[in-house]
């Protein structure tokens, strides 16, 4: 992967100042975007029983929400380019709030697909994209650190929402909880109001010409960048498919392991455990980019860390299935021995009756 391309913003980013307030606002906005869909799984069991839905039908709520969030990315980009990050984030907070409030009055599972899935997903998209974009306008040298701090909003918000949702679920049920959550996500509007446009300090006129000369002389680098972009698109597709499969199977497997009665408590425990690695991951990756000055070492590390759990699961599943086969053979042998003993006893009793 080639080194990062030089950015010609036409002004000098402040790399601090109000930018840290923007990072805090992005922390809240990104946190709700990533953590909110996961935190809703606490209510799925009660919703499933209320509507008489299957596991597959209730899983579509999260799927539609995540799909809407990612599908609305281009729309969010167009709005950010036209109106800026502040109004888009505030509109996103209103959309998520409206979706949750409408969902609290839902009369069918389709209603939840539309309100939580489509409306809520679009609202989360309007929170995620602008928050990621505006950081790049405030930071250049410290951008990896700023992005890392903003991305830690996901585990922190998830860590907060997990026990909060459990409390709301126990106290108010899913309808009352959705209504309260509709008010809580309005904090995204507060975060959006903090994302004021950067005050641009124009750079000297000689710098753009120098940049153009470098760009004209660097056509091989442009080709390398386009090739890297294609590779990144392929990576994003593969990662998205794998991530979707893991998210779809994680909570379904968890319910099979712990049962329906303990599922809500187990979800809270899993999300809290997940918070630690997710909290440390973004700052560590940003520190690696700062230390090595290249993204490839971060990708190498991520690849190894993602490969090791897959190898572990592959080995343990193989061992588990072998152990299950051995137990089944043992049980079959025991049952066969019992049947043989019963037949011998039966034949012995019949022989005794004939002799009598």
- Domain count for the chain, please give it: 1
Residue 227: inside a domain? no
Task: Give the per-residue pLDDT at 179.
Answer: 93
Residue 57: inside a domain? yes
Residue 253: inside a domain? no
Count of CA atoms in the C-beta half-sphere (13 A) of 13: 18
Residue showing tokens 């410290």: 142
Residue 63: inside a domain? yes
Angle between helices 143-151 and 153-184 (to 10 degrees): 50
Helix (H) or strand (E) holding 32: helix 19-39
Backbone angles phi, psi at 202, to 5 degrees: -70, 135
Residue showing tokens 């679920």: 169
Using the Cα atoms of residue 86, residue 89, residue 93 and residue 95 in order, give the sign of their dihedral: positive
Q: How far is CA 26 from CA 50, 102, 133, 174, in A?
A: 36, 26, 10, 28
For the chain (length 356 residues), average pLDDT per consecutive 10? 51 81 91 85 83 78 82 83 89 94 90 91 87 82 80 82 87 91 92 86 52 50 70 77 64 61 59 62 70 79 84 82 84 83 75 63
Residue 11: inside a domain? no
Residue showing tokens 């005050």: 199
Task: Give the per-residue pLDDT at 93.
Answer: 93
Listed in sequence order, the residues at least 6 apart from 110 whose beta carbon sits closer than 8 Å to its beta carbon are: none
Residue 340: inside a domain? no
Q: Three-state DSSP class for 160?
A: helix
Residue 286 sits at the vertex; the CA angle it makes with 280 and 288, to the nearest 5 degrees, is 100
Task: Give the per-residue pLDDT at 356.
Answer: 58
CB-CB contact of 115 with 14 (8 Å): no
- Domain at 108, CATH number: 1.20.1250.20
Model-level pTM?
0.62
As a whole number of angstroms, the distance between CA 33 and CA 69 comes to 8
Residue 193: inside a domain? yes
CB-CB contact of 40 with 69 (8 Å): no
Task: Give the per-residue pLDDT at 294.
Answer: 77
Task: Give the per-residue pLDDT at 176.
Answer: 92
Residue 310: inside a domain? no
As a whole number of angstroms, the distance between CA 47 and CA 229 comes to 42
Measured from the Cβ of residue 171, the count of other Cβ atoms closer than 10 Å reads 10
Give residue 32's region: left, alpha or beta (phi > 0; psi -120 to 50).
alpha
Task: Give the per-residue pLDDT at 235.
Answer: 78
Residue showing tokens 């539309």: 114
Which domain range does residue 186 map to? 19-201+259-293
């Amino acid at each position: 992967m080639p080194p990062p391309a030089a950015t010609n913003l036409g002004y000098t980013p402040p790399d601090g100042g109000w930018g840290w307030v923007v990072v805090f606002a992005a922390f809240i906005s990104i946190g709700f975007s990533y953590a909110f869909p996961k935190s809703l799984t606490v209510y799925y069991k009660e919703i499933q029983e209320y509507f008489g839905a299957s596991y597959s039908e209730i899983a579509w709520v999260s799927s539609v929400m995540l799909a809407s969030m990612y599908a609305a990315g281009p729309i969010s980009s167009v709005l950010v380019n036209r109106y800026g990050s502040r109004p888009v984030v505030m509109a996103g907070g209103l959309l998520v709030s409206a979706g949750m409030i409408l969902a609290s009055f839902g009369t069918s599972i389709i209603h939840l697909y539309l309100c939580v899935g489509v409306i809520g997903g679009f609202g989360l998209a309007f929170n995620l994209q602008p928050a990621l974009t505006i950081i790049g306008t405030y930071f250049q040298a410290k951008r990896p650190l700023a992005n890392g701090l903003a991305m830690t909003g996901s585990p922190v918000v998830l860590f907060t929402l997990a026990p909060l949702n459990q409390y709301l679920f126990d106290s108010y049920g899913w309808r009352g909880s959705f209504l309260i959550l509709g008010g809580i996500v309005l904090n995204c509007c507060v975060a959006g109001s903090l994302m004021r446009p950067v005050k641009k300090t124009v750079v000297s006129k000689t710098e753009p010409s120098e940049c153009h000369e470098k760009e004209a002389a660097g056509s091989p680098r442009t080709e390398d960048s386009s090739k890297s972009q294609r590779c990144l698109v392929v990576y994003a597709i593969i990662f998205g498919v794998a991530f979707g499969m893991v998210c779809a199977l994680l909570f379904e497997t968890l319910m099979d392991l712990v049962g329906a009665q303990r599922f809500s408590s187990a979800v809270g425990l899993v999300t809290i455990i997940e918070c630690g690695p997710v909290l440390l991951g973004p700052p560590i990756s940003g520190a690696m980019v700062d230390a090595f000055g290249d993204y490839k070492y971060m990708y190498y590390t991520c690849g190894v860390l993602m490969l090791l759990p897959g190898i572990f699961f592959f080995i343990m599943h193989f061992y588990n299935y072998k152990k299950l086969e051995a137990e089944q053979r043992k049980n079959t042998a025991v049952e066969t021995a019992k049947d043989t003993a019963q037949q011998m006893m039966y034949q012995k009793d019949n022989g005794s009756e004939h002799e009598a």
